[in-house]
Structures are given as C-alpha cells and as structure tokens.
Structure 1
C-alpha cells in the first residue's frame, strides 16, 4: 500500500535536486522517506495516530511536519511551495528536448549516485523517457565506488529483474545496461572486454591525470574512442565551471584529431548537461559539428531530480546549432541499439 508521506518526501527531494539544492538538505528528506517506508504496518499506524514522528531517528522538525501533513491527506506546505516555484529549465532548448527519447548517462548508489536504481529509473519513466541507461563507474575510480567485474555482473542481474518488473507493471520504459568506463593512461578501458561487449551503452571518460600534455591526452582519447566497445565520449574536456567542487580548467588535446576519430569510429560526443560541467564548451561543440560527429545529450545524473536536467544540454545544443538528426538519443530504441551495437 502506498504511504503518502513517502511519496511526498521523495517528491520534495526531487524538486530540491532539480533546483540544485545542497546535498545534505535533500538527503534529510530522502532519509526520512526511507525511515517511514521501512516502518512495519502497525508502527506506521501508531505514528499516524500519535504524530510523534520526531521520536524516530532520522526525522527532524521539517521532515516531521511534511510527514504529518501528508499522513493527514494534505499536500505538505514544503511540497506546495516547491511545486509553485518550479519553472521550466532553459526553455530555449525545447525544440530539441521534445525530440529526446532518453538519457544515456546516469548513476545510482551502486557507485557514487545518491539513490537506488529503482528510484532513479521510476523517476526517468515518470519524466517520459522511452529508455534510460544506467552507467555507474568502473573499478579504478575508487573515490566513486566504481564497480568491479563481479559487482557489475550483480548490477546487470538487478537491471534485468527491474526490467521484468516494469514489464509486468506496464511501465513502458526500458532500462539499458551500461557503464561509464574510465579511460586508462594508455587509452585502454577500465573493465573486462567481455563484460563491455554485453552492455547496451558504454560511455568512456577521462577522470585522472587531466593535466597531461596535449599529445598524451590526444593519443589516450583517440585509442579509447576507436575501441569498438565505446559508444560515447563523456565530458571530453573534464572542466568544471562552478559548484561545490570548485573550478577546473579544460584538459588540453587536439580536438580536430579526437573528433575526427569520433566521426570515423562512430563514437558520439557527449553534451554533458550538468550545470557545473557544460562540456564541451561552445567552440569545441561547433568544431565537432563541422567535422560531422554524432552527439548524445545526457544528464550525468547522480540523483532523481537531476534527471530533469536534459534541458540544460538541449539549450546548448540549440545555441550552437547541433543538428537534431545527429543526436543519438533522438533515435527510437531499436535505432539507438543499432547504433551502439554497430
């Protein structure tokens, strides 16, 4: 049976994440939702009757107020305020946003995301996606709890079970298996080749030694995008332009050589929608268009509310003249899988 306080708390967290609220503030609502969801039925009924929500570990005054209001059949004040304040994200990106059928770069709490796979994917389905790829990190990225081969196999089993459940429930979205695989110093990929071959989507990204010289970085990236397993080159410059992690300059590489390799080997260039990345910058995006690259507009979401960030990337695509017919996640599922398999 659906517990309205759980639904309300998670929606509050969604809107806060969408609006780029501080993580600790959002997590207070997600933790409270988990506490309420895990209560046995008799304890839940008692708490609804007594209203002593703050006696539960992990629930504070603000979350208790939202719980009590939802349990009484009301829309919590906090939720009503967030709904009322919500505005379209970068509406100038609408011409492309309406064409996108899914998201090909997302993370769950199996690596460095903040929410379970199911919550991420149900949110993606609610946003109208036809497909969504789960691309948790590979093992070398220990700071992001990257997945070993064994953990990745277990995650693939979980995705299969969830896809089966969605099908039984009539949820039409397909969860795509995937990975954000680290590009190693020599251009190799940080996961077993046989496992990569099983996946629907492979995003390859540089996360280490970002200050290497241009010749080294160019060679490293070209080797990676030429690998038949790789479908998308993720956040190619590695830059950060704002946010809690501070700023970081672009990696140096020969963009003409790298983008020509992407064109030749059929690897899409990611337009990363995270506000702190905005990667690639406009001049490189226009260069990739001129060379004839494919593109993928992705959120790189680490939380459910961030799945609604596609419009940030779409606005940059519109502003820089990206042809919609070159964006792989405008393709229907069958066309997308043809692209990634071929």
Structure 2
C-alpha cells in the first residue's frame, strides 16, 4: 500500500468523524513529507523515520506498515468505525455533485484542488465552490476582488481536472433587509449561489420571513442554505423562527432549492420542514457544507434524512449533470 495515500486516507476518515484539526493535519503533514522523500526504503530499513520533521511514532508506524504492503492498523480501525446510515444509500449513489463546499480561501481547511480531488475520488462529477461572502469576516469572507481572483484559479484547475468540473459559486450572506452581501453583477457571473442567514438569527418571525422571501426572490439565488440556522451538536443553537409555508412557497415560485444540510452538527432543516417543503413542491439540494475533504462524505447523512422523508430523487438538484444544472431549460 502506498504510504502517502494511507496517511491521507487516515486524515480523510478522521475529518469525516469530526476529529480535532491538529490530528488531521499531522497525517497530512506526514504525507507531504513522504511525497518529497527520495530515500524512503533506507529510512524505513534503518528506523530513521522519526528523525524527520513532521513524522512521529504514530505516523512512522503507518508508513512502515504500508511500506511492507500491509494495511496499517490505524487505518483498518478507522475504516471499521465509519458510520454509514442505513437509509439513503440509493439516493447517495444518485448524487452527481455537491452544491455547498468551502476551501482555505475562506474558513475551509484545505486548498481548492484538494477538495476537488477528493470529490472526484468519491465519484462526483462536479462540485460547487461556495466560499463565504465579505460580511462574514470571522470566516475570511471573499471581497469582490478576491472572488474574481478565485474565478481565475478555478478556471485553471478545471483545465487540469477535466472532465471533473468545479462550478463557481458563493455562500452569500442574506442581510437583515433581505439583500445579498456581494455585487449583483458578480453574482450574475457565478454558476450557482447559495444564500444563507448567518446574523441576527433571533430576529422576530415576521421580519425573518420578509428577509428570507426577499433573498430567494433575487434572480441570482439558486439555493437557500441551512434555513433554520440551528446547531444540534455540542454548541447548540435554537432554530430561527419564520413562516415556513410562506418561505417555501417563495422558494418554489422562484425555482430556488431548499438545502438539506448534511453537517452532523446542523442536519438542517428538521424532518418536519423537509416534508413541508416537499409537499409545497420545492426543489432540494443535499449538500455537505464541507470545510475539509473528509467532510465531503457527510452527504450520506442528508440522503438518509431525505429518504426518511420520502423525497424523490427527481426533486433533488444535485442528481443532475453539471450541464443540466447550469441549463435546466435548454
């Protein structure tokens, strides 16, 4: 087994399980060291791996086992512990891409290329890069100038990664008045726009309803992200209150998909709202909201909830090819 690949797979499974960032980085750093190592055979034979900066006892044991052609014990254990939901497997297999991902251009932990390569390895045909908009300074949101720079980087990566495709996008903040936190002309250039509320989440229901309806009425918006804003993990946050019927009707009437956010600490919206949006006639987008490569595999959690809510695959935006996504009405 290739040692660098084993180290990166361990990092992937650790990310998927929500392990601390420092632990994930240790394995990615060790993989980078192995990539640049001209004398791996000699290092393993002489037991001198730990003399290298970035290689510790645990990563050295992984390298040694992989170099012998074995599956490292650490990797085997992580593979055996993977939590795969029983429901939603058929829908997960039908997904061709992911409409909500982040890179280290904003608050993600990995370069765009690494996110794209992992998405491709997972069998995706495309992914939408949706780093944050400028108002979310804590997430290093992209100014208009930085977003334009990113478009150039994506164009170059697409030349290298074809036929896999990175679609251009943004997770744009919905401002308190329902306007969007980015230049309208620039939003018009993007392949897909996810609009999300990240501030004033406890706004009174009538005002929040007006805010969200105004946002989804914007012709550039394609997906309404994590609509309730809730957190259900260690850091709990209650749902925002709004007239869900009115908001979902606005989504339906404007062709905006309701996101099923697959992050284990969100799983937003809750099941009763998924069913309500389904019955309202909304489209859906099942997204990872991944901030690291391993998190791209969280889509299975969203698919499980979609199946539990009897959501048909033809109502899910990301069962489409990139061409159909970009040109839904040829």
**TM-score by structure 1 length?**
0.90
Following the alignment from structure 1 to structure 2, what is the Cα–Cα distance between the partners of residues 49 and 233? 55
SS at match of 2:94: coil
Following the alignment from structure 1 to structure 2, what is the Cα–Cα distance between the partners of residues 215 and 35? 55
Q: Tell me if structure 2 keeps the 8 A contact 1:232–1:268.
A: yes
SS at match of 1:91: coil
Alignment of 1:191-340 (within 5 A): 191-243=182-234, 246-339=235-328
Q: Tell me if structure 2 keeps the 8 A contact 1:91–1:311.
A: no
**What is aligned with 2:53?**
57
SS at match of 1:176: strand
Q: Using the TM superposition, give the Cα deviation of residue 129 of structure 1 relative to its aligned residue in structure 2, in angstroms.
A: 0.8
**What is aligned with 2:66?**
70
Q: Using the TM superposition, give the Cα deviation of residue 332 of structure 1 relative to its aligned residue in structure 2, in angstroms.
A: 2.2
Count of aligned pairs between the two proteins: 330
Q: 1:105 to 1:47 in 2, by over 3 A?
A: same
Following the alignment from structure 1 to structure 2, what is the Cα–Cα distance between the partners of residues 90 and 199? 33
* Pairing partner for 2:20 from 19, 22, 47: 22
Following the alignment from structure 2 to structure 1, what is the Cα–Cα distance between the partners of residues 174 and 39? 49
**What is aligned with 1:33?**
31
The RMSD of aligned alpha carbons is 2.0
Gaps of 5+ in 2: none
* Pairing partner for 1:175 from 166, 170, 175: 166
1:65-87 deviation per Cα after TM superposition (whole angstroms, max 9, x unaligned) = 22333344443221232234445
* Pairing partner for 2:89 from 89, 94, 97: 94
Following the alignment from structure 1 to structure 2, what is the Cα–Cα distance between the partners of residues 98 and 6? 28
Q: Using the TM superposition, give the Cα deviation of residue 44 of structure 1 relative to its aligned residue in structure 2, in angstroms.
A: 5.9
1:217-263 deviation per Cα after TM superposition (whole angstroms, max 9, x unaligned) = 111111111101100000000000113xx100001111111111101
Q: 1:94 to 1:73 in 2, by over 3 A?
A: closer
**TM-score by structure 2 length?**
0.93
Give 4+ residue runs of structure 1 displaced > 4 Å after superposition. 41-50
Q: 1:284 to 1:84 in 2, by over 3 A?
A: closer
**What is aligned with 1:165?**
160
Alignment of 1:58-137 (within 5 A): 58-86=54-82, 89-137=84-132
